[in-house]
Amino acid sequence: MKARVFSGMQPTGNLHIGNYLGALRNWVKLQHDYECIFCIVDLHAITVYQPPAELREKIRQVAGLYLAAGIDPKITALTVQSSVPQHAELGWLLTCVTPLGWLERMTQFKAKAEAAETIGDGLLQYPVLMAADVLLYNAAVVPVGDDQRQHMELTRDIAERFNSLYGETFVVPQTSLPMVGARVMGLDDPTKKMSKSTAGSGHAIGLLDKPEEARKKIMRATTDSNPAVDFETMGPGVQNLLGIFQAFTDWSQDEMHRHFTGMRYGDLKKQVAEAVLAGLAPIQQRYAELMQDPGYLESILQEGRDRVTPTAAGIVKTVKERMGLYTIAP
Ligand code: TRP
């Protein structure tokens, strides 16, 4: 039997090439070696207020982009978190075995709490719900970026604590696979990871950006004061552009050196833009085709929900029994 993989993405902001190269593209490859569940985590999104109509539209958009990028619904379950009520249910059950101190220590919570005037309880509980997402399916492997590592450690701690209190119940998941994906930085500020939520028109290249828009952003990207590409002394902006090119073309390090050494930045950027546009074109084309038939997307999300529900329901049933909750015959 194949090991199970679970991962999720929030339906907020606009998916960009960093999400594609760092996560989505790896997920597409994982599908063949693992039994995968990829989830649109809308319950996580609402830990911060989202305009309802916009959120609903984003969920469809992210689902469409997953499919357009190559997630194959015949072998992989594509789900919307809130459509499987057991996520929220297990979230509560796990909340009750999680010490408050563990949650208050989370660096992402601390950063968000500092930035906001008032913070919802959901922001504190966020990592418990994430633990529930993973443990609900006894996922063995959870591919996530570095920023989610602490949450995954917490997931393991919660699973171990539950197992020691109530008996072996959960598989303690591996943090992630070694990430082969590129870490894409902001075009305007190459010291910061490309982010869905960073405002500013020159920061990220959206997967649905028009070719001209994407090209313009690349041509304006921050470089450094060298006159041309020098692999020894280049700054983070040039390194980022080369990284993006390499990720889209799969060129070797040797080829990169031979081709780009001494190239002026204007030419470098033109070539990066060509590589990005060539990579995005088939995704955008499939996306446009998919979205012409709203019923198709809906049916994929129904199938995903129906496929994972028996597993989720089975685990919640076991957890409730172990915890001593009363079971009334259906
Ligand atoms: N918190 C993750 C992020 O913002 C998204 C997420 C929610 C997730 N639940 C998950 C990722 C479970 C992996 C597994 O990136």
State the pLDDT at residue 279: 97
What is the distance between the alpha carbons of residues 53 and 278, in angstroms, rounded to a whole number?
32
To test ligand 1's pocket by mutation, which of 16, 19, 38, 39 has the most ligand atoms within 8 angstroms of CB? 39
Q: Is the CB of 133 under 6 A from ligand 1?
A: yes
Which residue in 44, 161, 174 sits closest to 94, CA to CA? 161
Secondary structure element (H or E) that encloses residue 78, with its range: strand 77-80
Q: Is the CB of 126 under 6 A from ligand 1?
A: no
Which CATH topology does 211-289 take?
Tyrosyl-Transfer RNA Synthetase (1.10.240)
What is the distance between the alpha carbons of residues 136 and 315, in angstroms, rounded to a whole number?
6
Residue 9 Cα to ligand 1 middle (Å): 6
- What predicted TM-score, i.e. pTM, was given to this entire model? 0.93
To test ligand 1's pocket by mutation, which of 133, 154, 174, 176 has the most ligand atoms within 8 angstroms of CB? 133
Q: Is the CB of 10 under 6 A from ligand 1?
A: yes
* Per annotation, catalytic residue among 29, 110, 112, 270: 112
Q: Whose CA is nearest to atom 6 of ligand 1?
A: 8
Instruction: Let me know if domain 4-177+293-323 sits in CATH 3.40.50.620.
Output: yes
Which residue in 153, 186, 191, 197 sits closest to 172, CA to CA? 153
Q: Is the CB of 91 under 6 A from ligand 1?
A: no
Kindly give the confidence (pLDDT) of every residue in the chain, 330 residues in length, as a single tens digit, with 9 standing for 90 and above: 899 999 999 999 899 999 999 889 999 999 999 999 999 999 999 999 999 999 999 999 999 999 999 999 999 999 999 999 999 999 999 999 999 999 999 999 999 888 888 888 999 999 999 999 999 999 999 998 888 899 999 999 999 999 999 999 999 998 665 555 668 999 999 999 999 888 778 999 999 999 999 999 999 999 999 999 999 999 999 999 999 999 999 999 999 999 999 999 999 999 999 999 999 999 999 999 999 998 999 999 999 999 999 999 999 999 999 999 998 888
Q: Is 320 a catalytic residue?
A: no
Q: Is 58 a catalytic residue?
A: no
What is the distance between the alpha carbons of residues 235 and 230, in angstroms, rounded to a whole number?
9
Task: Kindly tell me the burial class for residue 264, based on how many C-beta atoms sit within 10 Å of its own C-beta (0-12, 13-18, 19 or more).
Answer: exposed
State the pLDDT at residue 147: 85
Closest atom of ligand 1 relative to the 139 alpha carbon? 14
Q: Is the CB of 148 under 6 A from ligand 1?
A: yes
Q: Can you give the residue ranges of every domain in the chain?
A: 4-177+293-323, 211-289
Which residue in 64, 78, 90 sits closest to 7, CA to CA? 78
Q: Is 217 a catalytic residue?
A: no
